A and B are shown apart, each in its own frame.
Chain A
Amino acid sequence: MTTNAIEAHGLVKTYGEKRALDGVDLAVARGAVCALLGPNGAGKTTAVRVLTTLTLPDAGTATVAGHDVVGDPVAVRRVLGLAAQDATVDGLLTGHENLTMIGELHHLGRKRAKERATVLLEQFTLTDASDKLAKEYSGGMRRRLDLAATLVAQPEVLFLDEPTTGLDPRARNDLWDVLDELVAGGATILLTTQYLEEADRLADDIVVVDHGRVIARGDARSLKRQVGGDQLRVVVADRADLDAVTAIVGRIAGHQPTVDVGARSVVAPAEGGTSAISALADALTEAEIRVEDLGLAQPTLDDVFLTLTGAPPEADDDAAAVPVSTISEEQR
């Protein structure tokens, strides 16, 4: 008997020539939150589809809550909750009808399903919209309803495929709060994301995938350590000051900075964190240098990829190009 809620060994899934999954191993302990982090086309959705029995793997094995995804898919479906990449709420049903239907298909019975729907709508602050058609919901509301739908039958393992992609920053923050609550409640969650920031914020373990392979794993801190942690970054107003600033940053960071003349920026790894920043601010003021921007930059997924693979992540040809390092602000 395994203690892991999710286990996968050597998962392979090919689409024609394309190896969407190329030997993926996963182990997620009960109650843990694991983030699959990778650019568009990395194979995140395919991994989720295999683990949720929507797709058969070509090779490898996987269990969810101890049930084999190939051998006993119905048992797996009984214990999982899935929020697919595109929120699959039913636009022609009201919020309440959506959740009731899912409850009925989980065989709660119509009455119990309705009660459960009411409770969940309240928990996700959708009570006011419970009798509105879901197609009239905002992007954030749809995501919340979708998430509520995954919780109808109180699943043991949750799969959330890019739960915040396409949300505006406010809606994303709301959703993060909801996910925090789920985590506090002890849910086992496998989520996928393109953003290191999000993986960092939500997950205990981060598994970095690219081209269907796991290229790194660990917690956010250890991943960031691999790329050198936080970066001090200064943008000067006048290009003539670059040399002076480079000297100052180099002294305070204790590392040779990287200078981008075009961007008028000077960047160096910062070990001191916030104390380094105040020291730098003082030094710059003293030298009377006009600064346009000064800050501590977190490594992005781009940096992680650069360090891990020596190349920036290439979005897949057949996948839509979505910025990888910055969270897209666009609304669905």
Chain B
Amino acid sequence: MSTQAATETPTLHPARPARARGTFVSDTWVIARRGLIHMRRQPEALSDATIQPVMFVLLFAFVFGGAIAVPGGGSYKEFLMGGIFAQTIVFGCFGVALALSNDRNNGAIDRFHSLPISRASVLAGHAVANLIRAFLPIGFMTIAGFVVGWRIHSGVLDVLGAYGLMVVFSFAMIWIGVLLGSLVPTPEGVQGVAFVVIFPVTFIASTFVPTSTLPSVLKTIAEWNPTSSLANALRHLFENPGGVTPSSGAWPLQHPVAYTLIWAVGIVVVCAPLAVMQYQRSIKS
């Protein structure tokens, strides 16, 4: 040990520092910044948000691009983009679930809770970090889409609406993630839920194929699946093929934007309080 440490006693200076007033907002930001640093330094997590969606765009555009017909005609590449946006946004819930689960298991949550901060800021910090992180894949996919030949045909307001809807739905998915991270005890368990539950949810949908091509039961599930409505809403707002189905279909097919918004609000209203409750239970004991 350094001899200097002996002279400069490391603790118990009677003059305690004059503390600036800490606020919920600044504590949340400190924890959010930590979350963002974590993402940057975890190549696996980062690739989920960057390389993976870009790979999907390239794969589906070039491998299946010619084989899948879009009802009502139109380019499959343009149909595809809304689906891949939707799938990636739904997957977004895992970022926060994994981060929370890791923190619960490695003692970070205890460390935070022994500090004089609002406990809500720990959760809020994770939420903010993951909302910011959600922009990353959306940006990468937009670029990849343009490269493979995706085009937007609508006006500025519709485009803003599309990106706004993505942010809103990302926000909703964060609360599913918090709920998941508080319910499932280990990070491995979270991965398991990803493959068993969320993965199928994003596939039994209009993500990659029009719902009209699916067999009957799956077709009904897909029509009411919010992943489909999000994909269709984006197609509609970008004026890509496959957006709104004319009057005959299920209600979500006719009103994808409204249906998606209802889901987003519903998820937040139901999951956020549940998630906060479950989180508090998970950290008690």
CB distance from B187 to the nearest CB of A (A): 14
Contact partner of B10 (CB less than 8 A), chosen from A52, A104, A107, A123, is: A123
Evaluate whether A92 and B5 lie within 8 angstroms (CB atoms) in the complex, with A101-B30, A187-B12 already known: no
**B5, B31, B115 pick with most chain A CB within 10 angstroms:** B115
Interface of B is mostly: loop
Please count how many residues in chain B sit with their CB below 8 Å of the partner chain's CB atoms.
39
Q: Does A120 belong to the interface (CB within 8 Å)?
A: yes
Inter-chain contact A74/B116, CB cutoff 8 Å: yes
CB distance from A145 to the nearest CB of B (A): 12
* List of A residues within 8 angstroms of B37 by Cβ: 92-93, 97
Inter-chain contact A153/B17, CB cutoff 8 Å: yes
Q: Does B153 belong to the interface (CB within 8 Å)?
A: no
CB distance from B31 to the nearest CB of A (A): 8
Inter-chain contact A177/B1, CB cutoff 8 Å: yes
Q: Does A311 belong to the interface (CB within 8 Å)?
A: no
Contact partner of A80 (CB less than 8 A), chosen from B26, B108, B114, is: B114
Contact partner of B17 (CB less than 8 A), chosen from A15, A112, A148, is: A112
Evaluate whether A156 and B12 lie within 8 angstroms (CB atoms) in the complex, with A77-B115, A107-B19, A133-B41 already known: yes
Contact partner of A54 (CB less than 8 A), chosen from B22, B27, B41, B110, is: B110
Q: Does B281 belong to the interface (CB within 8 Å)?
A: no
Q: Does A186 belong to the interface (CB within 8 Å)?
A: yes
Evaluate whether A154 and B11 lie within 8 angstroms (CB atoms) in the complex, with A84-B110, A106-B19, A181-B5 already known: yes
Q: Does B196 belong to the interface (CB within 8 Å)?
A: no
CB distance from A180 to the nearest CB of B (A): 8
CB distance from A111 to the nearest CB of B (A): 10
* List of B residues within 8 angstroms of A86 by Cβ: 106-107
Inter-chain contact B116/A106, CB cutoff 8 Å: yes
Contact partner of A53 (CB less than 8 A), chosen from B9, B13, B19, B114, is: B114
Inter-chain contact A105/B27, CB cutoff 8 Å: yes
* List of A residues within 8 angstroms of B4 by Cβ: 122-123
- How far, in whole Å, are A182 and B6 apart by their CA atoms in the complex? 8
Q: Does A184 belong to the interface (CB within 8 Å)?
A: yes
- How far, in whole Å, are A120 and B110 apart by their CA atoms in the complex? 22
Evaluate whether A125 and B2 lie within 8 angstroms (CB atoms) in the complex, with A55-B285, A101-B34, A112-B17 already known: yes
Inter-chain contact A88/B10, CB cutoff 8 Å: no
CB distance from A98 to the nearest CB of B (A): 10
Contact partner of B1 (CB less than 8 A), chosen from A15, A81, A101, A125, is: A125
Count CB-based A-B contacts (< 8 Å): 121
- How far, in whole Å, are A105 and B115 apart by their CA atoms in the complex? 7
Inter-chain contact B107/A124, CB cutoff 8 Å: no
Evaluate whether A154 and B17 lie within 8 angstroms (CB atoms) in the complex, with A104-B30, A123-B8 already known: yes
- How far, in whole Å, are A182 and B12 apart by their CA atoms in the complex? 9
Q: Does A90 belong to the interface (CB within 8 Å)?
A: yes
- How far, in whole Å, are A158 and B9 apart by their CA atoms in the complex? 14
CB distance from B151 to the nearest CB of A (A): 40
Inter-chain contact A154/B5, CB cutoff 8 Å: no
* List of A residues within 8 angstroms of B30 by Cβ: 101, 104-105
* List of A residues within 8 angstroms of B140 by Cβ: none
Evaluate whether A108 and B108 lie within 8 angstroms (CB atoms) in the complex, with A123-B2, A187-B12 already known: no
- A residues in contact (CB < 8 Å) with B: 15, 52-56, 74, 77-78, 80-82, 84, 86-88, 90-93, 97, 101-102, 104-109, 112, 120, 122-125, 133, 148-149, 151, 153-156, 158, 174, 177-178, 181-182, 184-188
Across the A-B interface, give the 8 residue pairs with the lowest CB-CB distance, nearest first. Answer: A185-B9, A107-B22, A88-B107, A177-B1, A77-B116, A88-B111, A82-B114, A78-B116
18 further A-B pairs in the complex, CB-CB below 8 A; given A82-B111, A92-B37: A54-B110, A77-B115, A88-B111, A91-B106, A93-B34, A104-B26, A104-B30, A105-B116, A107-B22, A108-B17, A123-B5, A124-B10, A174-B1, A177-B1, A178-B5, A185-B10, A185-B11, A186-B11
15 residue pairs from A and B, CB less than 8 Å apart:
A74-B116, A80-B114, A84-B111, A88-B111, A92-B37, A101-B30, A107-B21, A122-B4, A123-B2, A133-B41, A151-B10, A153-B17, A184-B9, A185-B9, A185-B11
- B residues in contact (CB < 8 Å) with A: 1-2, 4-6, 8-13, 16-17, 19-22, 26-27, 30-31, 34, 37-38, 41-42, 106-108, 110-117, 284-285
